[in-house]
Amino acid sequence: MQDICEDLLKGLNEEQKTAVSSTEGYVRVVAGAGSGKTRVLTTRYVYIAKVLGVAPSRILSVTFTNKAAKEMKKRILRYMPDEDGGWILTFHGACNKILKEEIHRLHYPSNFLIMDEEDQKSLLKKIYEENGLTLKDHNFKSCLDAIGVYKGKNGYVPYFSDPTGQTAAPGLPRADEKGSLDFITKKYLELQRKNYFLDFDDLVFFTLQIFYDFDDAREKWQRQFEYIQVDEFQDVSKPEYTLVEMLSLLNKNMFVVGDPDQTIYTWRGADIRLFLDFDKAFGGVKTIVLGKNYRSTPEILAVGNSLIRHNTQRIKKDLVAVRKNGVKTRYFHAATRQQECEFIAGEITALHEKGVPLGDIAVLYRSNYMSRSVEDAFLKYGVPYTVYNGVEFYKRKEIKDAVAYLRMFVYKDDLSFSRIVNVPARGIGKKRLAAISALAQNENLTLYQAFSKLADSALFAGTGAKKLLNVIEEGCIRAQAADVDVSDLLDFALKKSGYEEYLMLCGDQNRLDNVNELKAAIKDFVDEAGEHVTPEEYLNAVALISNSDSEDKEQSVKLMTVHTAKGLEFPCVFVCSLNEGLFPSQKIENKQQMEEERRVAYVAFTRAKDRLYLTDSDGFDLQTKGRLMPSRFIFNIDESLIDKSGVMTDEYLHAALEYIRASEYALNHPSVPDFRTYLGGDRVRHPVFGDGTVTGRQSGCYVVKFDNGNVRTISEGSGVLKPI
């Protein structure tokens, strides 16, 4: 046992050893960027299992991405080759596994279907079509945001779980106003309940509801998990926090790891206070700081430390580099955006000529649209690049279509039916689809049940309806067989439905290659599981895959947003478009949001291992509709820490500093009128009238057409309008 312990702790620094061996009670680890937190989490898991002798099934280890969970499992296998890491999961993965055993308590079947974002949009599309709505009413993003906010504020789960269907959805006062967000939310909930759909929010809220309502279920899972550890704790939302808090109350062993300086997901519900106040929430909390950075040079860390010290909502710490000296961070100010991007292209070309692989270089920006100028310069200079824009394999149309056939065989749900019914074309157009939808609504049927009744009718004569019905029925029988092979089921679906032939007729080899890759992915999934996999198990696994799970191994420069880059590292990093209104974003309205924006910049800087470049430009920007000013984050860095180049006149520097001073004053004094000037076309928000568009100026007032149809004149000096 002593040998195992020594082997596990070998190579760890003192703070890491303390974290690994602190197994009892509530422990908070402040793990700075590049401080080896994944190694600590993995080693601690093995320590509890091998040194303390605790069964792995009693250890819940929660991560935020499937990629992180997979990496943990991979490392654990080195010490525990027989361990499957069954409870090393994301929050949603853990809730899914718990609900498989417990959701019957809420009168839901255990084979509920998990919707990803594309499924949610398909559901909204169906609602829009059935109710004569258009995107002019509300775009899908606004709807999904509103539904997410609704679910976070209302105890809606009893509406889903009432077997009589009599419970009304709470908190929707405008549900009868056709086209309102309340109306759309209610229709969304109705379709969810009818088809037994759960979205990602539901997985957490349904689990919490069961724990609130059923003492025996809560106590069962509290006994199950003797040890709980949570990765990236700075990113947890209040419901997620409540979940792990509740599970820890019996054994009182919870280990949380994170870095409040990297809290950049408040728009997803992350609350930095949960990490900062963790010691106040529980008695006797032990706090350990991992401040040694194994990733970056001292010069890069000095820049990051200098920047983040300007935040007040944090646990004070400075990262200390383990590595020896490197090169100073470079800051280049360009006269134009084109010049800025050509500088980046030129520097990358020079680095590559010196032997730096292109795959070791990343260009980071605040928002996706900022990549355009960089791409133009790369095309001009012949620099190979790959844009990481969040669109991954499982969101490609042909993959969604193929998976929808599998889902149809398992669930017979409305979303899958709507996707496959006329792909490939079977003559089932809008008129026939409307007939199916009408029957489904009138008799409270699913779309497939209605289709089954109509397929033999005169209305569907001469179509492929009967053939499709036969394919689905045979597919359902195959899917329920005890020895069903998921790969064979997919082959059956693609061939019998005519979809594979349809792709061949399209003549798009890339799409055919993608479908073949899906078959390979299923095989890999089954091989990795090491046991029989049902179609339902595979479909749920596909739904839980995150954007970050895909990898691109091409030898090209990587272009991505900072949020996409979180958790990654690169030898050379360029952070571009560091201008006011761009980075930080023009949407910042208060000091707290500015602190998060500074954390986003901190995350960007600390992705770099060997070289860090910061760039901005002068000129007029169409996004901010004003002259570009250098980002305040440049001025937040001690001037001695960066190597400056480019030309910035004293007049321009003075104007930039005055702009930033006025902005900072407004953020710290929110009652002071906004100093911005709005132009026609600018989107604005009014505290009473809501969102609108500036259409012009008249006699010292802005003329604003609000989204509710009203037109108002708002005094320029009132300061009540805020940018969206």
Annotated catalytic residues are 37-38, 231-232, 262, 607
Q: Name the nearest CA neighbour of 494 among 465, 518, 461, 530.
A: 518
d(CA 608, CA 610): 6
Residue 663, H or E segment: helix 650-668
Residue 492 host element (H or E) = helix 486-496
Residue 580 tokens read as: 């006011």
- 711-715 sheet: strands from edge to edge: 711-715, 701-706, 690-698, 683-686, 722-723
Extract the tokens encoding 284. 């006797």
The CA distance from 6 to 71, in Å, is 23
Closest alpha carbon to 208 in 111, 97, 109, 95:
95
Q: State the DSSP string of 73-122.
A: HHHHTTT-TT---TTEEEHHHHHHHHHHHHGGGGT--TT-EE--HHHHHH
Tracing tokens 């809501």 back to the chain, one arrives at 690
* CA distance linking residue 187 with residue 644, whole number of Å: 57
CA distance 47 to 43: 6
* Token digits of residue 469: 């019905």
CA angle at 678 for the pair 677 and 679, rounded to the nearest 5°: 125
The contacts of residue 653 (CB under 8 Å, 6+ apart) are none
* Helix, strand, coil in percent for the chain, rounding step 5: 50, 15, 35
Collect all residues with Cβ–Cβ distance below 8 Å to 681 and sequence separation of at least 6: 693, 694
Burial of 547 (0-12, 13-18, 19+ CB in 10 A): middle
How many helices (H) does the chain have, and how many strands (E)? 30, 24
- Integer Cα distance of 569 and 581 in angstroms: 26
Phi first, then psi, for residue 614 (nearest 5°) are: -120, 130
DSSP symbol at 545:
-
Dist CA 659 CA 74 (whole Å): 50
- Cα–Cα distance for residue pair 600/303, rounded to 1 Å: 14
- Both tokens of 121, joined, read 């949009």
